[in-house]
Amino acid sequence: MARTASRPASKQARPKQPSIRRLLVGDALRSWALPTAAVAVLVVAILLDMLEVIPDPTAAGVSVLALLVLTAALAVAPLLADDADERVKPAAIVAIALLWVTVLGYPFEARLFTGPALGHVVLDPAASGATLVAGNTGARADVVVDLHLPIASDRRDRTVHYDVDMVDDAGGHTRIDGELGDSWRMRRMGRRGSVPSHLEHLSQSHVVELGAGGLHLVGATLVGEPGATAAATAYRYRLPGMAVLYGLAILLCAGALAFDHWWDPRARATATIATTGAAAAALVFAGSGSGHPGLRDVIGAALVGAVAGFALGTALAWLVGTLLPRGNTARRAA
């Protein structure tokens, strides 16, 4: 009887293990790489702006993008960790973060980059009848008043009050007014005493309803510093009304709050704090009257947003966690 040769049992193929390099790269992308790159871009933009290598609006726009990317990266890092709950796919989390950066970055971009001017007139009594906006180019215009002061030989405060009357083609009048100028203050420098600091406020923005047709200058008066001149430039106002912006901010904050409570009520409300902070900064920046906003305005709005976001976001998360049932917590703990 022929003896059948036994064949060795085939070994079960082992699943291919990811390499250490791939694991390290993935961990870096999920944790420290993006925040570090955002901080580096922010520092470089500030330095280039101080050296006047790039225009101030460009530096401000890059800084806004870096700050939003940094905030979004810190907020979604716990959701992309290896031990994170996979109820939401990483690709969906990244897509939501990109949409979040785009929506909250638009108010900054619209104020920083106004586009071409619709018209320009010198605010002088002789310019009565001059056209500032020709034709109906939109519902609103951003009228920026710029003041030009003569060279002063002494350090003194100078103030100019302007009053401008405009009319549209249907006869509807619009009046804008304000005060511009410069001032000197003594700033303390530790034990070395104090040094003079020159503060300038030479431009102001006004949102004007265009109404019917164009916008024409009726009259303008300047009261204050002799020899000062001023001009008005109109730009297309690219943002909706402040009521709409506040409504969108409330919806974003409510969505972030609902997500944090659904994801894990016990955890820190990172999405809520990040969203309330970014929304507060965007509202402050959009509502500022700066005629030519730049990097200083962005930093100021970011500081206000950081304080308001932490305080308001923490309070809202605590309130929702107290009032709403914590059934999701029990399910995750099981």
User: pLDDT averaged over the chain?
Assistant: 83
Least confident among 140-154, 218-232, 251-265, 315-329: 315-329
What's the mean pLDDT in 137-159?
88
| Domains with residue ranges and CATH for the chain | 20-113+241-333 (no CATH), 117-236 (2.60.120)
pLDDT at 97 over 60: yes
Contact 220, 130 (CB under 8 A): no
**Most confident of the ranges 83-92, 194-203, 261-270, 294-303:** 294-303
Cα separations in angstroms, 222 against 122, 124, 147, 193, 219: 11, 8, 10, 38, 10
The DSSP bridge pattern shows strands 229-236 and 158-168 to be unpaired
pLDDT in tens, 169-182: 888 889 999 999 99
pLDDT of residue 20: 56
> What radius of gyration do the chain's Cα atoms show?
28
Determine the average pLDDT of the residues in 2-29.
50
User: Which regions of the chain does DSSP assign to beta strands (E)?
Assistant: 117-122, 131-133, 140-148, 158-168, 173-188, 194-201, 203-209, 215-224, 229-236
CA atoms within 13 A on the CB side of 26: 10
Which residues share a beta bridge with 204? 145, 290
Helix (H, G, I), strand (E, B) or coil at 239: coil
Three-state SS string over 179-212 comes to EEEEEEEEEECHHHCEEEEEEEECEEEEEEECCC
Q: What is the pTM of this model?
A: 0.81
Residue 279: what pLDDT? 95
Scan for tokens 């003896």, then name that residue: 3
Q: What local confidence, expressed as pLDDT, does residue 307 receive?
A: 93
pLDDT of residue 191: 67
- Tell me which of 110 and 309 has the higher pLDDT: 110
Residue range 229-285, pLDDT digits in tens: 999 999 999 998 889 999 999 999 999 988 887 776 666 788 899 999 999 999 999
Q: Please report, rounded to a whole number, the percentage of residues in the chain having pLDDT higher than 70.
A: 81
Instruction: Measure the CA–CA gap between 243 and 253, rounded to whole angstroms.
Output: 15
Of 68-82, 145-159, 176-190, the poorest mean pLDDT is in 68-82
168: pLDDT confidence band, cut at 50, 70 and 90?
confident
Q: How confident is the model at residue 105 (pLDDT cuts 50, 70, 90)?
A: very high
For 138-170, b/e burial (b = at least 16 CB within 10 A) is eebbbbbbbbebeeeeeeeebebebebebbbee
Least confident interval from 34-38, 126-130, 131-135, 320-324: 320-324
User: What pLDDT, on a 0 to 100 scale, did the predictor assign at position 24?
Assistant: 46
Tell whether the model's pLDDT for residue 331 goes beyond 90.
no
User: Residue 80 — very low, low, confident or very high, per pLDDT cuts 50/70/90?
Assistant: low
**217 φ/ψ sector (left φ>0, alpha ψ -120 to 50, else beta):** beta
pLDDT higher than threshold 60 for residue 23: no
